[in-house]
C-alpha cells in the first residue's frame, strides 16, 4: 500500500514517497479507511546518514525508523566497496534488528529457517540507492530509476518517459521526475496518495545546487 521511488544521479540520489495507508476489510478486501502518515513517521525517512523506507508492512517502517541503528560506511566509500559493505555489514545488521524485534519468518519444524521478511526495503547511503528484497538480497538498477510498492509500475513508466536522452540526470530534473512518478501512481493506484515526502542525498545537495 505504498509508492517509494528513487532517482540515481552522478554522486547523488533523490528519494520520495507517498504517505497514504489504506486499511481494508478482511473479508471483502475493500478499503475501509485512509490514514495519512505524518512526516516524522513516514514510509521514508532519515536514519543517521541513511535514507530508509519500506513497502509492505507498517511494522517494518516502525523498526527502520525507531529501532534500527545501521552501521555507517566511510563517507567516500563508493562502487564495489560500498556494495560489499551493504552485503557483509548492513544487511546482517538489518536482519538481526528485524529478528530481534520479532519481524521475521519463524523457524519451521525442521529448523531449516530461511532468512526472510514480508517487506521490500529502500536504502540510500553515500548517494547510492539499494533495494533489499524479503530474502535480504539486494539490487541497484543500472537505469537509475527505482520504485517499490503497489504504485511502482505507474511511477517507473512516468519516470522512464522523462529520462534525458543525453547527459546525466541533474538534481532539478530529478526532482521533477520523482514528483511526476508519484503523481502518476496516485492517479491510478488507490493505495497511493499525497502529501509526498522528498529527500536528497549526495554531493549536489552538499554544494547547494
State residue 150's pLDDT score: 94
Q: Look at residue 151 in the predicted model and tell me its pLDDT.
A: 96
Q: What is the predicted pLDDT for the residue at 147?
A: 97
Amino acid 27: pLDDT? 63
DSSP helix/strand/coil, 96? helix
**Residue 202: enclosing H or E segment and its boundaries?**
strand 197-202
Set of cell numbers at residue 123: 536504502
Taking the alpha carbons at both ends of the chain, their separation in whole angstroms is 33
Classify each residue of 29-63 as buried b or exposed e, where b means 16 or more C-beta atoms within 10 Å of its C-beta: eeeeeeeebeeeebbbbebeebbbbbbbebbbbeb
Q: Structural domain boundaries of the chain? A: 3-206
> By the 8 A CB rule, do 192 and 3 touch?
yes
pLDDT at residue 208 in the model: 45
pLDDT tens-digit map of 45-63? 999 999 999 998 889 999 9
Beta bridge pairs of residue 7: 14, 145
What is the C-alpha radius of gyration for the chain, rounded to an integer number of angstroms?
17
Taking a C-beta distance cutoff of 8 angstroms, is the pair 12, 200 a contact?
yes
Does an H or E element contain 160, and which?
Answer: helix 152-161
- Three-state DSSP at 64 gives helix
pLDDT score, position 34: 63
- Residues 140-160: tens digit of each pLDDT: 988 899 999 999 999 999 999
Q: Are the CB atoms for 138 and 91 separated by under 8 Å?
A: yes
How far is residue 116's CA from residue 103's CA, in Å, rounded to a whole number?
A: 9
The whole-number pLDDT of residue 209 equals: 45
Residues of the chain with pLDDT under 50: 110-112, 206-209
Residue 63's Cβ-side half-sphere holds a number of Cα atoms within 13 Å equal to: 22
**Which grid coordinates belong to 33?**
479507511
Q: DSSP 3-state assignment of 57?
A: coil
Query: Which one is the CATH code of 3-206: 3.40.630.30, 3.40.50.300, 3.60.20.10, 3.90.79.10?
Result: 3.60.20.10
Q: Is 109 exposed, middle or buried (0-12, 13-18, 19+ CB in 10 A)?
A: exposed
pLDDT score at 179: 95
| C-beta of residue 13 within 8 angstroms of C-beta of residue 124 | yes
Amino acid at each position: 500500500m505504498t509508492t517509494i521511488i528513487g532517482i540515481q544521479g552522478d554522486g547523488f540520489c533523490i528519494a520520495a514517497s507517498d504517505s497514504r495507508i489504506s486499511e481494508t476489510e478482511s473479508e471483502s478486501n475493500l478499503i475501509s479507511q485512509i490514514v495519512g502518515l505524518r512526516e516524522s513517521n513516514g514510509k521514508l525517512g532519515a536514519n543517521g546518514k541513511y535514507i530508509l523506507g519500506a513497502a509492505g508492512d507498517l511494522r517494518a517502517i516502525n523498526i527502520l525508523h525507531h529501532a534500527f541503528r545501521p552501521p555507517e560506511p566511510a563517507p567516500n566509500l563508493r562502487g564495489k566497496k560500498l556494495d560489499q559493505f551493504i552485503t557483509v555489514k548492513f544487511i546482517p545488521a538489518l536482519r538481526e534488528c528485524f529478528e530481534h524485534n520479532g519481524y521475521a519468518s519463524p523457524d519451521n519444524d525442521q529448523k531449516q529457517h530461511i532468512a526472510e521478511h514480508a517487506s521490500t526495503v529502500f536504502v540510500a547511503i553515500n548517494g547510492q540507492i539499494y533495494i533489499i528484497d524479503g530474502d535480504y538480497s539486494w539490487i541497484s538498477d543500472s537505469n537509475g530509476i527505482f520504485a517499490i510498492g503497489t504504485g511502482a509500475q505507474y511511477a517507473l513508466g512516468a519516470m522512464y518517459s522523462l529520462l534525458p536522452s543525453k547527459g546525466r540526470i541533474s538534481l532539478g530534473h530529478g526532482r521533477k521526475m520523482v514528483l511526476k512518478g508519484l503523481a502518476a501512481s496516485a492517479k491510478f493506484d488507490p493505495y497511493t496518495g499525497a502529501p509526498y515526502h522528498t529527500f536528497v542525498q549526495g554531493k549536489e545537495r552538499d554544494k547547494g545546487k
